[in-house]
Amino acid sequence: MTKSSSPLRREWLLVGIIVLLALAVGARAPVFLTWRNALDIGNDSAILAILVMGQMLVLLTRGVDLSVASNLALTGMLCALAAKAWPALPLPVLVMLACAIGAGLGFVNGWLIMRFQLPAIVVTLGTMSAYRGAIFVASGGAWVNDHQVHPAIKGLPRDTLLGLPMLIWCAAAVVVLALVLLRWRREGRELYALGGNPSAALYAGIPVPRRLVMAYTLCGALAGLAGLLWVGRYSIAFTELAAGYELTVIAACVIGGVSIGGGVGTVSGAVLGVLFIGVINGALPVIQVSPFWQQAIAGAVILVSVVLNARADRHRGRQILERPAAAMQGASA
């Protein structure tokens, strides 16, 4: 947190880029600057914002969770199957079920990393495939289609409150909770200390294993919540749900200034990263870019942004492959 001035400048620069981008697109297609379009971008970005808050907690500890999209898909499928089997389940129970399943999958990641002292990228790469395969086992390869998805699950992201979709309210609540955790709770501040200098964190008495498991468990819980919302929003659950979405989540974090080297990042920056990707994805169809080019252009813009951000933090970014045990051994030597 000693580099607070640098993230602040980065965030204002990102705000300027987003505003300029919106004005440029709006000059060509005025419909882009309407309230209706802003709501659509917010609605489309809400699930990404929830996932980014969880991924940010993990990145702050010098880790990474590549299994968030598989966690989302597995949790969404299990919740859809549970609601299909027991239609009397109330919505609060389904939400708690989604968070519990997601948290359990995240806990497995954290426990494996700490128990066997493995790099986070290796563990989560393995669980990414394992969770994706578990969807096939649970569903038998079948889809849960629109007419089979429980009405309560479909209704949650589509309802409105005070004129705003519930999906945006859910994302806003998660962002506020992440802000409270990282700014005012000792547990959140310890994540910064752990990512900034693991050896110093151990000497300072921070329970490093417990904090690492906490970060992965919270990341998993948010992925589980996102899975339920995803199934409700799109009214479908299948094996390849959100395939590859973990890269978009990490890209939003890096664009928002969250260092993959750990210890650096703010909630406001991560939200701006989500907004940047949301504006890009919303602008291309409005200015009538061919659907064949939309994904390629959006990917190229995100890639350039990530490269420009990573150049400023090149050496710290390499620490993503560092084994947690290395820091502990250094502290105990």
How far, in Å, CA of 63 to CA of 106, rounded? 13
Residue type for position 4: S
Report which of 295, 299, 285, 290 is spatially closest to residue 32, judged by C-alpha positions.
285
| pLDDT score recorded for residue 4 | 46
115, 212 contact by CB (below 8 A): no
| pLDDT score recorded for residue 240 | 85
Burial 198-210 (b: 16+ CB within 10 A, else e): bbebbeeebebee
The domains of the chain are located at 21-307
Q: Which residues have C-beta within 8 Å of that of residue 265, sequence separation ≥ 6?
A: 7, 56, 59, 60, 253, 256, 257, 258, 259
How far, in Å, CA of 59 to CA of 63, rounded? 5
| pLDDT score recorded for residue 311 | 65
Report which of 288, 307, 274 is spatially closest to residue 18, judged by C-alpha positions.
274
Report the first-to-last Cα separation within the chain, whole angstroms: 27
How far, in Å, CA of 81 to CA of 78, rounded? 5
> Which helix H or strand E contains 139, and what residues bound it?
helix 120-139
How far, in Å, CA of 35 to CA of 23, rounded? 14
pTM of the full structure: 0.88
| pLDDT score recorded for residue 162 | 86
Residue type for position 172: A
Chunk the chain into consecutive blocks of 10 residues (it has 333) and report each block's average pLDDT, rounded to whole numbers: 56 87 87 88 92 95 93 94 89 94 95 91 93 90 83 85 89 96 91 87 87 95 94 88 88 87 88 91 80 72 70 52 48 44
3-state SS of 76-112? HHHHHHHHHHCCCCCHHHHHHHHHHHHHHHHHHHHHH
| pLDDT score recorded for residue 142 | 83
| pLDDT score recorded for residue 330 | 45
Q: Does domain 21-307 have CATH number 2.40.160?
A: no
| pLDDT score recorded for residue 217 | 96
